[in-house]
């Protein structure tokens, strides 16, 4: 939906949506209000004042970069959590929404103008627009990902992007109910999880190592299970990617490291079994520009993050004993349907991608207001999906909400995004995370988790996975 949005929307499906509501702030303060331009008659955007743009940068954007976009920096994350940065960021976004009546707000920044969307109806519009118009390869994102996966789908646009996306969709089983190699992946997970329950405590580092072995076995096959050298190279590239937005492009050292990692993937490729992601990519006919092997960089990046999701899910379950008990009220306990909802709820509270960022590829209009090609468009989904005025009990752990019909397509809750840009690894990633949790809880239950979370109060805005320690007992 492009162009003007209908006026007042009394039957809005979204609580808190202010589409069509009167704008209480018109004409107030330092920001430039929307309204018809005296000369052209066209509506003008709400442009935030310099102070507001600066506040947004200091409380929201800069901390996001400091936490690490392609490789988390645990020490920085802990520090920002301890000083209350997630609350500052939420307060900034709330004040922008209040001041501009929920209308899209244009903020200035180092990479140009960014239109920030804070109303669910605008977010729905964002997901509905075609990727050719509202593209994923935003400037800073491309600079970061060009270090670690220069031929990945995220860095591409136009026909080449579509060809890469089609390959990803097919290999990752995006349109399948279950991945064709699901049974093989379950066996891999079961094998790797055995050694995780041998002691009474499970520190994050052990879980992370197992999750990364699972990741390499799923993407490259058993041949790569113990390839710690590849893991180190990829970690270094991801850490370098964190600096991508402030550099002109990948450094010569980055390029050499990327080449070494890619050469290693090419060594594995001819021997990758047909059940692995790389094996399937090799069997899929595609143009050489698509770079089937190069796509594996992102698959490893995404699957390597599963340990982090599992650690947070189990920590939340340890703090919510009734949710944990309910997992065992099923004939084949633990109930994987319930566990899957727990993983989704964890991702709602602690998304892997906090901000969905796009770039306008052509001049266009939003709510009847024209915007130039090159304008960035940002949905602060991490803020929106835990904001109680939009999602009831937004900062509480309530996995049951994911059993409501349509929940996985609700624009207010989008840990995987929606529409054409939606994560193609959504089902695979959910399956792997759920299955690891299920393996760990099959013969054990969680007795304690550290840090301790209070289930009756708002959960902390950030949860540093590397500090998580779980205690398990045999059931």
* Residue whose C-beta lies closest to ligand HEM: 425
According to CB under 6 A, which residues from 394 to 413 bind ligand HEM? Answer: none
For residue 91, give every residue at least 6 positions away whose Cβ sits within 8 Å of its Cβ, in sequence order, or none: 59
Q: What is the dihedral of CA 361, 365, 366, 368, to 10 degrees?
A: 180
Residue whose CB is less far from ligand HEM, 52 or 208:
208
According to CB under 6 A, which residues from 130 to 169 bind ligand HEM? Answer: 136, 153-154, 165, 168
Residue whose CB is less far from ligand HEM, 269 or 430:
430
According to CB under 6 A, which residues from 340 to 379 bind ligand HEM? Answer: 347, 352-353, 356
Identify the CA nearest to 230 among candidates 250, 216, 210, 241.
216
- Kind plus residue range of the DSSP H or E element containing 420: none
How far apart are alpha carbons 252 and 12 in whole angstroms? 52
Residue whose CB is less far from ligand HEM, 18 or 385:
385
How far apart are alpha carbons 214 and 251 in whole angstroms? 31
Answer for which of 308, 428, 462, 465 binds ligand HEM (CB under 6 A) is: 428
Q: Which one of 63-71, 90-98, 239-247, 417-425 is the stretch in contact with ligand HEM (CB under 6 A)?
A: 417-425
Contact 220, 262 (CB under 8 A): no
Residue whose CB is less far from ligand HEM, 171 or 470:
171
How far apart are alpha carbons 314 and 336 in whole angstroms? 14
CB of 352 to ligand HEM, least distance (A): 4
Residue whose CB is less far from ligand HEM, 86 or 351:
351
Residue whose CB is less far from ligand HEM, 52 or 410:
410
Residue whose CB is less far from ligand HEM, 172 or 465:
172
Contact map string, positions 305 to 324, toward ligand HEM, x by CB under 6 A: ----x---------------
How far apart are alpha carbons 343 and 346 in whole angstroms? 5
CB of 249 to ligand HEM, least distance (A): 20
Identify the CA nearest to 348 among candidates 399, 390, 389.
399
For residue 4, give every residue at least 6 positions away whose Cβ sits within 8 Å of its Cβ, in sequence order, or none: 365, 367, 368
According to CB under 6 A, which residues from 98 to 137 bind ligand HEM? Answer: 136
Please classify residue 12 by burial: count the beta carbons closer than 10 Å to its beta carbon, then call 0-12 exposed, 13-18 middle and 19+ buried.
Answer: middle
Answer for which of 81, 101, 294, 415 binds ligand HEM (CB under 6 A) is: 415
How far apart are alpha carbons 266 and 263 in whole angstroms? 5
Contact map string, positions 286 to 305, toward ligand HEM, x by CB under 6 A: ------------xx--xx--
Residue whose CB is less far from ligand HEM, 18 or 168:
168
For residue 282, give every residue at least 6 positions away whose Cβ sits within 8 Å of its Cβ, in sequence order, or none: 269, 270, 272, 292, 293
According to CB under 6 A, which residues from 431 to 450 bind ligand HEM? Answer: 433
Which positions touch ligand HEM (CB under 6 A)?
A: 136, 153-154, 165, 168, 172, 298-299, 302-303, 309, 347, 352-353, 356, 415-417, 421, 423-425, 428-430, 433
């Amino acid at each position: 939906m492009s162009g003007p949005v209908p006026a007042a929307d009394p039957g809005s499906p979204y609580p808190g949506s202010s589409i069509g509501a009167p704008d209480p702030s018109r004409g107030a303060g330092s920001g430039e209000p929307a309204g018809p331009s005296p000369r052209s008659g066209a509506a003008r955007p709400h442009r935030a004042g310099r102070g507001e743009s600066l506040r947004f940068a200091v409380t929201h954007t800069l901390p996001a970069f400091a936490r690490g976009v392609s490789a988390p920096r645990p020490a920085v994350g802990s520090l920002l959590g301890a000083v209350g940065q997630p609350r500052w960021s939420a307060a900034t976004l709330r004040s922008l929404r209040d001041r501009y009546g929920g209308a899209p707000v244009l903020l200035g920044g180092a990479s140009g103008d960014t239109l920030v969307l804070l109303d669910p109806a605008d977010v729905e519009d964002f997901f509905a627009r075609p990727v050719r118009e509202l593209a994923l390869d935003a400037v800073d994102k491309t600079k970061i990902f060009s270090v670690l996966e220069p031929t990945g789908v995220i860095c591409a646009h136009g026909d080449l992007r579509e060809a890469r996306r089609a390959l990803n969709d097919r290999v990752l089983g995006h349109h399948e109910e279950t991945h064709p190699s699901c049974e093989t992946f379950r066996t891999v997970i079961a094998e790797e999880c055995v050694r995780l329950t041998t002691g009474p405590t499970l520190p994050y580092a052990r879980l992370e190592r197992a999750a990364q072995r699972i990741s390499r076995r799923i993407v490259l096959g058993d041949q790569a299970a113990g390839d710690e050298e590849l893991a180190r190279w990829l970690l270094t590239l991801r850490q370098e990617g964190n600096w991508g937005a402030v550099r002109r492009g990948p450094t010569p050292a980055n390029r050499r490291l990327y080449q070494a990692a890619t050469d290693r993937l090419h060594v594995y490729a001819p021997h990758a079994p047909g059940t692995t992601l790389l094996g399937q990519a090799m069997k899929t006919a595609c143009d050489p520009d698509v770079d089937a092997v190069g796509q594996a960089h992102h698959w490893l990046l995404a699957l390597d993050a599963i340990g982090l999701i599992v650690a947070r899910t189990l920590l939340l379950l340890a703090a919510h004993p009734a949710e944990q008990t309910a997992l065992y009220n099923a004939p084949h306990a633990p109930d994987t349907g319930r566990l899957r909802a727990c993983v989704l709820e964890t991702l709602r509270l602690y998304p892997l991608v906090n901000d969905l960022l796009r770039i306008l590829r052509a001049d266009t209009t939003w709510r009847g207001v024209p915007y130039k090609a090159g304008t960035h468009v940002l949905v602060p989904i991490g803020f929106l999906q835990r904001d109680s005025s939009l999602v009831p009990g937004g900062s509480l752990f309530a996995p049951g909400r994911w059993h409501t019909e349509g929940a996985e397509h609700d624009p207010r809750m989008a840990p995987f995004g929606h529409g054409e840009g939606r994560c193609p690894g959504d089902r695979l990633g959910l399956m792997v995370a759920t299955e690891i949790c299920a393996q760990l809880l099959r013969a054990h239950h969680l007795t304690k988790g550290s840090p301790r979370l209070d289930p009756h109060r708002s959960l902390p805005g950030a949860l540093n996975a590397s500090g998580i320690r779980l205690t398990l007992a045999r059931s």
